[in-house]
Structure 1
Amino acid sequence: MDKPNAITVFAPATVANVTCGFDVMGFAIDAPGDTLELKLTDSKEVRIVEITGDEGRLPLETERNTAGVAVQMYLEHLGIRQGVDIRLHKQMPLGSGLGSSAASAVGGVYAINKLMGEPLKVEELLPFALEGERAACGFAHADNAAASLMGGFILVRSYAPLDVVRIPVPENLYITVIHPDVEVPTKQARRLLKEQVPLRDAVTQWGNVGGLIAGLMSNDYGLIGRSMQDVIVEPLRSTLIPGFEQVRTAAMAAGALGFGISGSGPSQFTFSEGKATADQVAAAMEKEIQALGFTYQVYVSKVNAQGPVILPEEVRLT
């Protein structure tokens, strides 16, 4: 059967850090995400021909665009001179803390691998997605990209060498994410971080990371909630998010297991046991955000175990 010459892929948004796991934990959610269409051409060049949903802010230059970088490096790695036109539809806010740049890079490299007949396994695509992340924020962190690419809940055990582990999660675990329309650029959020942390804080954080992983793997919702504490990053980054403490208090009072910043913010997320509780938490968070005068988006989802998906031809962007 002939290989297709065009494909449309949806790559999901992600929640990274997951309170205590800065740069080493993340998971995918069902929505939002990015949609990319890739079409093979005779030009021998990788071109970004259209971007929508970004208010004209993202670069069309291939070497500066996360999807363009990921696709270009994939083709160079395989020694393939192939023209590709990329159309990107952003379906989440920039600087949202939901892995916007990672979704674009993942969607691009997943799509080109499909068009090339899948010479690489899905997990082998991660280094190319990470180079897209590097183009976006200057650092190739894997917590968003690995979760978007592989689906599920991931732990980055090591960066050198890269070692990513998929962690099982309880069947009835639900996530509520709220995004107030305030932008927190990743680079700005990273500048707040300290190069050194006190040993007592590191010990607390290690215990929480281990507890969260153990709670997820053993279906222990109480342990999951007790472990969702960040004593290193959240105290610094929460200062960039208006109303953070009010929203946290409302979410926990509504029954959330735990509360934290999604990535670098301003999106905030909770874990809940069951969809009914997750919906209650969403309503409580919305009420606080409305009182603060912000517009917002809210999402309730299970952990998305699928990762990127090929969309049917009728929903293509062209």
Structure 2
Amino acid sequence: MLRDSVRVYAPATVANVACGFDVLGFALYEPGDEIVMRKTNSDKTEIVLITGDGGKLSRDASKNTAGVVVDAFLQHIGQKTGIAIELHKKMPLGSGLGSSAASAVAALFAINELMGQPLTRLEMLPFAMEAERLACGAAHADNVAPSLLGGFTLVRSYEPLDVIKLNTPPDLVATVVHPHIEIRTEDARSILRKSVTLKDAIIQWGNVGGLVAGLLMSDYALIGRSLHDQIVEPLRALLIPNFAQVKKAAMQAGALGCSISGSGPSIFALSTSHETGQRIADAITAAFAEVNIATDCYVSPINAEGPRLLD
């Protein structure tokens, strides 16, 4: 059934998942972004309203990830129609939770619904990746893939693009804590080393393989042992006040593992019950409070669904 308007929610994501820089990610139930999209009689894509961004995002459709993906999608399928977009940001900007990705995925899912679902979710993925290039200078998929496909995703290859949706163990719970500081993705990428030692690479490869195996087998102990980042976390941790104590507090509260979500400053931890997840959230919040940093906390199972219609 063709629609004239839709309302869509797309979830925030945790990218990298400790050891999987630019190749691993998973979707959350909250926070996320909401888009209301409708057809118009004009011949262009317009962003008519943005809320929740504090006035920081452009309403120029060519400079906003939501508008960019709609124009690219319509050009790809050879359709010309006017589109009006309302973007409601339900998550903090610059949080390391895939804010730009959630906007792009919500818009993609919405325009695909309006046009009668001509593309599969995998076929839509390259458009979302190009929106990430606009947002942060790199067309990476570790946020947009889990937001679009749901659950855990692995980017096996970028050229050619090969993305695999992984098993989500039934009892796995994510705790995400967003401290009220901002780290720009460009800055977080600029401090990374251009090369790594063979020793560090071997450790990292082992952890990526172990984490994927742990997810496939629902082996929570193996997941915990594998949530170790030998390469990126030691550098990005320098940008997050009291990080060492935050991570220690999470592990003492029962986390399987704890690391930085994406480029930060948000912190994620995995556990096997909501009760433990909440205890971890409280411990991380207390550790940030020691350095007078307020936080937002989210505790939920892994979101295996991805974007969804709200109407």
TM-score normalised over the length of structure 2? 0.99
| Structure 1 equivalent of residue 136 of structure 2 | 137
SS in 2 for 1:107: helix
Aligned-partner Cα distance in 2 for 1:302–1:29: 7
Asked if 2 retains the 8 angstrom alpha-carbon contact of 1:173 and 1:271, the reply is: yes
| Structure 1 equivalent of residue 127 of structure 2 | 128
Tell me if 1:43 matches 2:12. Answer: no
1:122 is displaced (CA, Å) by 1.5
Tell me if 1:305 matches 2:309. Answer: no
Return the letter of the residue paired with 1:220.
D
Asked if 2 retains the 8 angstrom alpha-carbon contact of 1:14 and 1:147, the reply is: yes
| Structure 1 equivalent of residue 175 of structure 2 | 176
1:50-129 map, 5 Å: 50-129=49-128
Return the letter of the residue paired with 1:262.
S
Runs of 4+ in 1 over 6 A off after TM superposition: none
Return the letter of the residue paired with 2:273.
G
SS in 1 for 2:279: helix
Gaps of 5+ in 1: 313-318
SS in 2 for 1:266: coil
- The number of residue pairs the alignment matches comes to 311
1:291 is displaced (CA, Å) by 2.2
Deviation string for 1:111-156 (max 9, x for gaps)?
0000000011121111111111111011110010000000010000
1:224 is displaced (CA, Å) by 0.7
SS in 2 for 1:143: coil
Asked if 1 retains the 8 angstrom alpha-carbon contact of 2:285 and 2:294, the reply is: no
1:162 is displaced (CA, Å) by 0.7
Aligned-partner Cα distance in 2 for 1:43–1:19: 46
Aligned-partner Cα distance in 2 for 1:79–1:169: 37
Deviation string for 1:251-292 (max 9, x for gaps)?
000110100000000000001122221111111111112222
| Structure 2 equivalent of residue 233 of structure 1 | 232
Aligned-partner Cα distance in 2 for 1:113–1:81: 14
1:169 is displaced (CA, Å) by 2.0
Aligned-partner Cα distance in 2 for 1:40–1:134: 26
Tell me if 1:294 matches 2:293. Answer: yes
1:101 is displaced (CA, Å) by 0.3
1:222 is displaced (CA, Å) by 1.0
| Structure 1 equivalent of residue 3 of structure 2 | 4
Aligned-partner Cα distance in 2 for 1:279–1:51: 32
| Structure 2 equivalent of residue 218 of structure 1 | 217
Aligned-partner Cα distance in 2 for 1:294–1:196: 33
SS in 1 for 2:108: helix
1:87 is displaced (CA, Å) by 0.7
Aligned-partner Cα distance in 1 for 2:11–2:193: 30
| Structure 2 equivalent of residue 156 of structure 1 | 155
| Structure 1 equivalent of residue 262 of structure 2 | 263
SS in 1 for 2:9: strand
Aligned-partner Cα distance in 2 for 1:22–1:302: 22
| Structure 2 equivalent of residue 316 of structure 1 | none
Aligned-partner Cα distance in 2 for 1:290–1:136: 31
TM-score normalised over the length of structure 1? 0.96
